[in-house]
Structure 1
């Protein structure tokens, strides 16, 4: 269950939430080790096959994504950190990148997706508790068009998340619209009351005696 006090890193989430009647009473933060920054040479393209495609993807991720970090994995995932690109933060994703470097005959473009790539990506992503994982590919290393292969369950989870988020946005917009109309109604009611008071004052003046006639 979600935390009433707004925490998303509590060890007791879903365990002692109903007992946490005072702010932070059972709050036990999960301490995450800050990953060591990757060496600069690992964050740029090298002479490996496909490294230009990997680096271009890395730069694109960095320019597009905020509130998360996107980094190229050391040795293209051959070490402890798997995948070719790792997105961390508010969302955790593993990306695998594949491309061709040889030009094909004019007018002919094809790319073979191997099942072993997808199985390996699924296995490694699950092992490190990634929320999403997918394979990005381009028909040629320097193509601007990049495509994504993703498992059906993952894409439908993304669709469901977008649907729920948009429902919340629409509900919030509706509540704001109602609140604005209620504000304008109260404002109109106040103006009406002030106008009625002015009318009553004017009528009272009709019955006030003329000081000159009294004397």
Structure 2
């Protein structure tokens, strides 16, 4: 789930997609890297593979990104932007603006749950990237930009919660940042486990989508 939309003049401001690098050739390299990471997994993609796919010299690629970790973070930022497009479409709709606060929260959470099921490759990439950042560390500047994209809708969630308090659709006040992080981590954690596949017989992911729906149900029930 995603810290950055806001209410402006009665409408909801959402992040806008633009160039990631300010250089069309490097944007193309990031796009190629994202495709390769989704296809082969991060560990199996070399910088030379990306350079060849993007039609740039590998030295040029290293001058811009210096490490595969930085390139993977840029690719992750791009993939989150694309994943978040469905959320942008929702929060810009008249139907969303007509919902109660609790209904806004529920609809956004369900859209994330549905998106994780429909984009298992993306979820598996995020799992790979998390592991890479834990084992190799992450440059502060690169991780900050990536984090902003991941949390780009936090303020829209927070605004929906406050609206729910005002309109009565949310009847239980909570520490919202803790609530948000708990639900976000629970959804992504289960989605990542589903994307990795069953490990022990009791995993039984045949109803995996329902597990994500159950998390949303419990979260909304806790507020209503």
Q: Same fold (TM over 0.5)?
A: no
TM-score relative to the length of structure 2? 0.21
Higher helix proportion: 2
Identify which of structures 1 and 2 has the higher relative contact order when contacts are C-alpha pairs closer than 8 Å and 6+ apart. 2
Higher strand proportion: 1
TM-score relative to the length of structure 1? 0.22
